[in-house]
A and B are shown apart, each in its own frame.
Chain A
Amino acid sequence: MSTVEYVRAQDVPGAIALVAADVAAAYLAGGTTQVDLLLKDGVGEATRLVDIGRLPLAGTEQVGDVLRVRALTTMADLAEDPVVIARLPLVREALLAGASPQLRNMATIGGNLLQRTRCRYFRDRRVTACNKRRPGSGCAAVHGPARMHAILGASENCIALHASDLCVPLVALDAVVHLQGTGGSRTVPLTAFYRVPSQRPDVENVLEHGELVTHVDVPLLPSGMRSAYLKVRDRASYEFALTSAAAALSVEDGTIRTPRLALGGVGTIPWRAREAEDVLRDAPATADTFRAAAEAAVRDPFTVPGTEFKVELAKRTIVRVLKDVSGVPS
């Protein structure tokens, strides 16, 4: 086991000051990936963990048509939130499809957003070629057995997956992340928060060192919108997605209005499928439209032999979730 220094933060400004001042420091919230990666796999640079678990950053609040979710709200608590149940059913479905009951009691929403984009090669320090761990060293996953890897936003440099279920509906809904740093606060749309690996797989988002996610604002679904989260995986429960899709739309006289679609299990970032939305918008709610949208969503994948199956699986996942939400018979 690695030894780390443990520091219990007393307040939010104090926590931010501690981490911002020390490049070797990192926040510790629920710990489900932080403790796992850092202390068990030995992956990551932090030698000092600043525990923010006691800070007053838990709970939700409805502000007009937005649900404000504070960063330390657990996955379990958010899934049982009355506003989520009534107005954000796809968020609830994604939360309950993720991890296990034990992990959902521990894991926080801020931590879910910030879980490392990762793959088994990244987690295995014996593997030397990993651009995410050692920039410039190559990508073992591209040349080795792969399955739980990304096909969108991926390249020769990195095919590690952003494994969050929750983030899939959140990018579909245009959630906004609120950040606080030593210099003040700022907001970033979740769709602009993550960075595809490109030349720098080690940089996964726009967060500056020391910045803290304080809360996430999630726009509520307008009444009349139907939504669903569909997750396809190797076993029935407690498993990462092979593919997943979050969809929200309404149908007026057989025509699709205000479609929202995002994909999981396939992207190096939670994947908003805007090209597919363009196909769906104001189009007839038919199986042909859904298939055309699916083709548009997965038009330019980067695959390796182990992930080729995901191209068609992702398309079928999209078609099925669209049929479900629009009430078109299969």
Chain B
Amino acid sequence: MNTGRSTGIADVALRINGVAFRGAVDGGITLLDLLRDHLELVGTKKGCDQGACGTCTVLLDGRRVVSCLVLAAQCDGREVTTIEGLAPEGGLHPLQEAFIRHDAFQCGFCTSGQLMSAAALIEEGRAGSDAEIREYMSGNLCRCGAYPNIVAAIRDTARQVV
């Protein structure tokens, strides 16, 4: 059994956007802080850092989670997808194109979380109506209030995908 050590260090091996990461992490460090502070994947933003805003949303084994409440050590053996891995290098995901087309952001701080959540929402089949999109995007707050355009961008993208 991995009993940890008195120093609180845990060994982890995970894949992030298809790239393997193996290392020793502080037992209390979150996935969000691992991404931003240690791996320079700063596209994932830190908003409330308490699971209330959705800004730090990433996919863990394909399902959306808030990375501020996941310990990095819990991700051992798992696959993480961040905004950097949403589209192939140099390209844009259809959602990113739609967000630009629909002007679905103002300051942009929440946008990477909105995009990750929206990608998961479409995959979950929750883009059936504007009301359903709003309900299933409710975990992502936008202080600029770009909600109508975010909904429009998701609606548009879901239509293309289906």
Check if B69 sits within 8 Å of A3, measured CB to CB: no
Check if B51 sits within 8 Å of A3, measured CB to CB: no
- Interface residues in A20-72 (C-beta closer than 8 Å to B): 28, 31-32, 35-36, 39-41, 48-49, 51, 53
With beta carbons under 8 angstroms apart, the residue of A31, A48, A103, A238 that contacts B71 is: A31
Question: Interface residue count for B (Cβ, 8 Å)?
Answer: 42
CB neighbours of B27 from chain A (8 A): 3-6, 49
Check if A103 sits within 8 Å of B66, measured CB to CB: yes
Closest to B113 in A: A102
Whether a CB of chain B sits under 8 angstroms from the CB of A106 is: yes
Binds A, one of B2-10, B80-88, B148-156: B2-10
Complex Cα spacing A53 to B61, Å:
14
Question: Interface residue count for A (Cβ, 8 Å)?
Answer: 34
CB neighbours of A9 from chain B (8 A): 1
Whether a CB of chain A sits under 8 angstroms from the CB of B115 is: no
Q: What 1/0 mask marks residues of chain B from 47 to 85 whose CB sits below 8 Å from any chain A CB?
A: 001110010010010011110111101101000000000
Whether a CB of chain B sits under 8 angstroms from the CB of A2 is: yes
Check if B28 sits within 8 Å of A3, measured CB to CB: yes
Most B-side CB within 10 Å, residue of A10, A105, A236: A105
Assuming the contacts A4-B27, A28-B71, A35-B30, asked whether A101 and B117 have C-beta atoms less than 8 A apart, the reply is yes
CB neighbours of B2 from chain A (8 A): 7-8, 10
Closest Cβ–Cβ distance, residue A67 to chain B (whole Å):
22
Check if A3 sits within 8 Å of B8, measured CB to CB: yes
B-to-A contact residues, CB < 8 Å: 1-6, 8, 10, 26-30, 33, 49-51, 54, 57, 60, 63-66, 68-71, 73-74, 76, 117, 120-121, 124, 126, 134-136, 138-140
| Additional pairs, 6, CB under 8 Å, beyond known A6-B10, A41-B50, A103-B139 | A5-B4, A5-B8, A8-B76, A101-B120, A101-B121, A237-B134
